[in-house]
Amino acid sequence: MTIQLETIPLGKTDVRVTPLGLGVWQWGDTMMWGYGKSYGDADLRPVYDATLAAGINFIDTAEIYGRGRSETVVGGFMRDTQTRDQIVLATKFAPLPWRWGGGSLLNALHNSLNRLGVSKVDLYQVHFPYSLISVETWANALADAVQQGLTRTVGVSNYNVQQTMRAHAALAKRGVPLASNQVEYSLLDRKPETSGLMKVCGELGVTIIAYSPIAKGILTGKYTPDNVPPGRRSRQYNREYLSKVQPLIGLMKEVGQGHAGKTPSQVALNWVMCKGAVPIPGAKNLRQAQENFGALGWKLSEDEVAALEKASAQVSSN
């Protein structure tokens, strides 16, 4: 049986997403996450099934995740289960240095649609700004994609305040709303608050989608000074950094106890939702996914949010 969750609109569009989604960078990426080594498609299919069973409808991928593999994996699961209509499907265009004009965005979108096995996506995002090509060039190409029926809505990612305002204005001239800006946001990275981005997005009616909402696993509490994360993550999250994070993790455990034993991951994700952003945690297996889904259906109090932010200010780099 599928659970019926509340949904919220993506920006000022009629596309509605659950307050928490699923990010699938892990579904194909070997370099950062070890796909095909420590886990594979047999672990991921149960995550896909459990996501839908939990009533979650929002899945975020990108053409560069595993060089297209992530889109192929999601597309395969959708096809095998005939569940395309249950998903708000988001993917992204990477403005790589050799991509010069709007035509390259439309070509990339056609390739994504082929890998996903669909005729249109629900949200198409520019993955990051690229200084040599104007914000307006990509915004116009996004508007073309909407007009050609290749995507229902459009968004950006990693855009700062100025870039977001410019993209919003360029799209508005074409009659297309900017639905979302996907940025890093968690108790360990609060730049969207301090930079003014959340305020501006609120004013413009642009949804903030929060990536790395559990700080790539750090806010689960499983990594400690004596157990640093493997691979590339250990550069940013080294022994010294992890020592500084421990008081925050301790508070998250304490706060979670007051909510029938919620875990630090669930507290981290609930905090993002309390701030009005849509977290899209990644998961490599069913256990991780199900734990993350437990962030839904309850709410931190205002005092708890304030206490977590006070502890986060001791560690957060922003």
Residues that bind ligand NAP (CB under 6 A): 23-26, 33, 60, 127, 157-158, 182, 211-217, 220, 222, 229, 265, 280-284, 288, 291-292
Specify the residue, 280 or 311, whose C-beta has the smaller distance to ligand NAP: 280
Is 48 one of the annotated active-site residues of the chain?
A: no
Q: How far apart are CA 235 and CA 313, in angstroms?
A: 21
Specify the residue, 146 or 208, whose C-beta has the smaller distance to ligand NAP: 208
Output the smallest distance, CB 303 to ligand NAP, in A: 25
Specify the residue, 171 or 210, whose C-beta has the smaller distance to ligand NAP: 210
Output the smallest distance, CB 185 to ligand NAP, in A: 10
Q: How far apart are CA 44 and CA 168, in angstroms?
A: 35
Output the smallest distance, CB 227 to ligand NAP, in A: 11
Specify the residue, 60 or 71, whose C-beta has the smaller distance to ligand NAP: 60
Q: In angstroms, what CA-CA distances link 121 with 125, 208, 269, 299, 308?
A: 10, 19, 26, 31, 36
Q: How far apart are CA 3 and CA 273, in angstroms?
A: 19
Give every CB contact of residue 96 below 8 A, 6+ residues apart in sequence. Answer: 130
Q: What is the pairing mode between strands 207-211 and 178-184?
A: parallel
Count helices and strands in the chain by DSSP H and E runs? 12, 10
Q: In sequence order, what are the beta bridge partners of 134?
A: none
Output the smallest distance, CB 128 to ligand NAP, in A: 6
Output the smallest distance, CB 242 to ligand NAP, in A: 13
Tell me if 56 sits within 8 A of 8, measured CB to CB.
Answer: no
Specify the residue, 174 or 239, whose C-beta has the smaller distance to ligand NAP: 239
Residue 149's Cβ-count burial label (10 Å; 0-12, 13-18, 19+) is exposed
Output the smallest distance, CB 37 to ligand NAP, in A: 11
Output the smallest distance, CB 7 to ligand NAP, in A: 19
Selecting among 35, 39, 48, 65, the annotated active-site residue is 65
End-to-end CA separation in angstroms for the chain: 42
Specify the residue, 97 or 175, whose C-beta has the smaller distance to ligand NAP: 97
* Cα–Cα nearest to 178, from 209, 224, 139: 139
Q: How far apart are CA 10 and CA 14, in angstroms?
A: 7
Q: How far apart are CA 249 and CA 308, in angstroms?
A: 9
Strands in the chain per DSSP E: 8-9, 16-17, 22-23, 58-60, 88-93, 121-126, 151-157, 178-184, 207-211, 278-279
Q: How many CB atoms lie within 10 A of CB 263?
A: 21
Active site residues: 65
